[in-house]
Every structure is written in structure tokens, then in C-alpha cells.
Chains A and B, each alone.
Chain A
């Protein structure tokens, strides 16, 4: 193993240790407010991973992931507020609603590719955004749904719920980590390789026996699952569900995070979401036009580092520091 690969392992270990100690280390280093910012970053990373699964691995540019995020949110909100569900059934309802919506819209959307696909995802998003805003009795309209948080686990009199900030953080960390682990398994499986084949060359993919339509649909539902989990977590985190998170511009943010971080890499969305949310949190108190920085960075990355920040890093790791020999160019890597 080269020194650089070791450095990568080391960095990953530091990152994992950091995530596991956030509730204690962050208040010590910064202040307690940043614990919830990091919890939020984890949720946004998962949301960006949803856009990344489609764009980075299957080659579908979706501006509609907010729709499934919104279904995850409303599933939880409506489940608790209208149906009186407890934590887990509401969580499940959010995820199932997001996946069902992804399946139904996917049946129509994945027939199309490129800009047609991007446009239809925006259209779906808009339709359901306006439905959510106008169906006041179900969704609460512009106000959204505020709900009382049910406990996550209760053992007799002992209850664990999101009211406990540490429990909330670790629950979100665990859920996001499980989703990333699942995504890691999927993208390295025969199915994940078929995703890459479809991304690279859909005509060739069909000629080697892949049903391109079904593969895109599977990816679309999987991406709906990731966005749905993110939306459900965010509903519990904020104790409310709101249509504003269903608007298509919000989907666009996920796409930008994924591309800047590194589309087609597992950790790209984490890097992209972290970077932009930290910028937002730090700069927005001083300067209201913080999205200008985001825009400039996005343009720079697209021009100078088409594989994103993680792509740059991977190239650096894979280039042996001590030899002039040029290795096989790793274009879009699928490893983290």
C-alpha cells in the first residue's frame, strides 16, 4: 500500500472517530449549536446521495429528488398528526410513500433521458408542490404540519426520543450510515455495475442483455428510498413537514452538492453537502449573498475538477508519489 493510500485510510479513521464523538468534541471546540448543524449535514448528505445515485451512477440528471424528500417528510408528518402513528410506523410510512411515488413517477420519467428526463422530474416536483400547498386540510398548506414527537424506543418507563439531543444525533448518524453502507454494497454489486454500464452507454448496455428501462427504474426507486429516508429523518429532526422542501430548486441544490463533492463517488455527496452547509452557516450571518460563493465554487469545480473534490483526491491517492510511471487513468471511480 502506498503512503497516499495509507493517508486516505488515516483520514477515513479520523472522520469516523470525529462523527462518533461529535456530541462531546464539538461543544468543546465550537459550541453546542454545531452538533445540530452536523446532524443536518448528515441528512443533506443522504439527500445528495440520492441525486448522486441517479446522476453519478446511472447517468440520469434528476431535479425531482425533493419530491421524494417531501413525501418522506409528509409521510412522517401526516402519519403522526392525522393517523396518530408512533415513531417507527410513521418512519416506515414516509419511506414507503417516497418509494411508491418514485415508482409511479419513474414508470413515466425513466422512459426519457437527458434534458427530457430532467424536465419531467421538475414537472412532477412542481405538480406535487402546488398540490401540497393547496391541499390545506391534509398538508397544512404553507404552514406545513407541526407535530408532537413520539418516542423512538420505550422500555417500560424509560423512553428514548429525539428530544434528547445526543440520541437524536446518533439515531440520524446510524440511519445515514446504514443507507451509505447499503449504497456502497449496491454500487459494487453486479446490479451496480449494470448501473455503470447504462450510464456509460445505454445502447451497448441493451445489446449485452440489460433491460435498460428496468435498471433505470430500479435505480430511481432506490434513489427515492434514500431521499425518503432523508426526508423522514428531517421531519423528526425539525418536528414538522413543509412543502417548501418539495420545491425543485431544493433538488437542484442536491445535484450541485453531489457534483461539487464528486458525482459517481460514494463520499462525494458528503463532502459537497458539508462544504456548502458550513459555508452557509458561517457566511450567512455576515453576508446575505452567500449563495454567490456556492455558485462560483460550483462553476470552478465543474471546469477545473470535473470529477469533483473526491475525484481530485482519488487521482492524488492513485498517483504514486515516488515514481514517474503513469498509472491507468482512473476516470470515474466507483470506490469511496
Chain B
């Protein structure tokens, strides 16, 4: 058993009277592909927002390796190597795919040169080409990000998360809205990335979750319901009731359990 990559202790976030994340403690060990699932409103995206500093927690602690990252600003957390994608895809719409990637790469540097042309940075250019190839997006390099298909925007966002060699990647519903072909491509990419980077993924597509995750954490109403291997989760009665128990979802569970 390796140490923990991300450790959350007693994390709480309230929005007015609603407790979105309720005294949550989780431990994500190194070197695995973790999935976080749960019904709508379970606090999954809020959890990601708390980890990446977009929201401030009311109480509790987030530890990334040996850094206490609770209370840090998003850019500080990003610089420690925690990168994420958003549920509502978030790129620089009016810039080209290549510009999106090169800006992301250059922004990881502490000093942004104010006078030297950005395009003269050969290392960045080479890294952009590398990631474009890795994401199969070379042919889209010159296209404005806002004109891409939904699936391509999602892939670009993953590319932007990957370009600065992250330590931990948080993917918030990366394949939501993708066509079956795009899904297949994205899943293959995620599995490839998981070989070198710690990944936590929020996903509603149970086929995907049970197909790729090493560990599954189930949240309900901001609290931990249960966590374990896909098989344990699929067999868990509580989970079936709280989340997977609806008749239309049973196919997925059975499929996954016997996969």
C-alpha cells in the first residue's frame, strides 16, 4: 500500500442552509484511477471546487502529498501540480487550440516575460506539438476553440490540464455529452494518462466508471456513503438503494458486475 496522494479531513461547505459537503473525510492513495460518483447534488463538483481552491471550505483540511492546500488560492494549488477540467467545459474560446495550449504551458512559469515574443519560445512550441499529437488534435491546432465540437473542447481541456505535467488530475464529467466514438477515444486517453498521473474522475456514465476505475467513492448528500473496488460498489445494497437502485440503471450494474 502506497501513501496517500490526496487526503481530505472533516471538510464542510455550506451554502446558506444547504450543507453541500458535510464533514467529509476521504483518502485517495497514490497511483490509482479513482472515481467519485453519487446522485445529482451529492456534492461532487463542490468537492472539486474545494480541492482546487475555487471555493473556500467552512472547515476541514485538504492535504495534497505533504502540502496542506486548504485555504490556498486556485493558482497556487495549480502550481503544485493539481490540474482540473470543468463540468461546463472551460477553455479560452476566442483563441486557437494551439494558443490555448501554449498560454497554459507558459502560465505555469513563475515569470512571464513582458517584452519577448511568446511565439519565440521553442520549448513551449515543441511541448504544444507533443500534446496536440497526444490528444490527436494536430489538425485542429489553428482552429478557434469556440468553434470546436463539444467533444473536441473536452479533449482540449484535458490537453490543457496535461501540458504542464500535472501530479494530480481532477476530471469533472469529462465524457458528458460526447458521441460514442468520442467517448471511446477519451476513455482510452484517460487510461493512458492514468499510467503516469494520479486521476480522480467524476462521471455519470456508469459503464465508463465501472470500466476504468480502480476505486470508487460514492457520495450522497455531501457525505461519504461507501468506497471500495467497483465490484464491492456494485454489490453494495446501500449504493443500489441510494443511487443505482433505479430500475433503468440496473442494466449497468449487472453489466459491470459481470464484466
Contacts and interface: CB of A to CB of B under 8 A. Distances in A.
B144 A209 contact: no
A331 interface: yes
Interface stretch (B3-11, B36-44, B86-94, B236-244): B86-94
Interface string A193-209: 11011001101111111
Nearest to A211: B75
B73 A190 contact: no
Interface string A80-119: 0000000000000000000000000000000000000000
Contact of A190 (B52, B91, B106, B160): B106
A194 B107 contact: yes
Given A194-B106, A200-B93, A189 B78 contact: no
Nearest to B84: A207
Interface in A172-190: 182, 185-186, 188-190
If over half of A's interface residues share one DSSP class (helix, strand or loop), that class is named, otherwise mixed; here it is: helix
A277 interface: no
B257 to A, nearest CB: 36
Contact of B118 (A188, A208, A211): A188
A207 B52 contact: yes
Given A200-B92, A201-B93, A190 B118 contact: yes
Contact of B78 (A185, A200, A207): A207
B116 A189 contact: yes
Contacts of B102: 193
Interface string B92-120: 11111001001110111100111111110
A78 B70 CA distance: 50
A79 interface: no
B29 interface: no
Contacts of A208: 78, 83, 103-104, 107-108, 160, 164
A332 interface: yes
A209 B79 contact: yes
A189 B117 contact: yes
A201 B121 contact: no
A331 B115 contact: no
Interface residues of A, number: 29
B196 interface: no
Contacts of A190: 106-107, 109, 112-114, 116, 118, 121
Interface string A149-192: 00000000000000000000000000000000010011011111
B55 to A, nearest CB: 12
A205 B107 contact: yes
B91 A193 contact: no
B114 A186 contact: yes
Interface string B128-154: 000000000000001110110000000
Contact of B90 (A189, A196, A204, A209): A204
B208 interface: no
Given A189-B114, A204-B92, A207-B84, A329 B144 contact: yes
A70 B79 CA distance: 40
A235 interface: no
B146 A331 contact: yes
Contact of A197 (B92, B109, B144, B147): B92
Contacts of B178: none
Interface in B42-61: 52, 54
A196 B95 contact: yes
Contacts of A329: 144, 147
Nearest to A332: B94
Of the candidates B95, B102, B116, the one having the most CB atoms from chain A within 10 angstroms of its own CB is B95
A210 interface: yes
Given A189-B117, A193-B102, A194-B107, A209 B92 contact: no
Closest 8 pairs between A and B when the two form their complex, measured CB to CB: A200-B92, A206-B74, A331-B94, A209-B78, A191-B112, A191-B114, A190-B112, A190-B106
Interface of A: 182, 185-186, 188-194, 196-197, 200-201, 203-212, 328-332
Interface of B: 52, 54, 73-75, 78-79, 83-84, 86, 90-96, 99, 102-104, 106-109, 112-119, 121, 142-144, 146-147, 160, 164
28 contacts: A185-B117, A188-B119, A189-B113, A189-B115, A190-B118, A196-B92, A197-B103, A197-B107, A200-B92, A200-B95, A201-B90, A201-B92, A203-B74, A203-B86, A204-B90, A205-B107, A206-B54, A206-B73, A207-B75, A207-B83, A207-B84, A208-B160, A208-B164, A209-B108, A212-B75, A328-B142, A328-B147, A331-B144
Given A185-B114, A190-B107, A208-B160, 6 more contacts: A191-B112, A192-B118, A196-B99, A207-B52, A210-B107, A328-B144
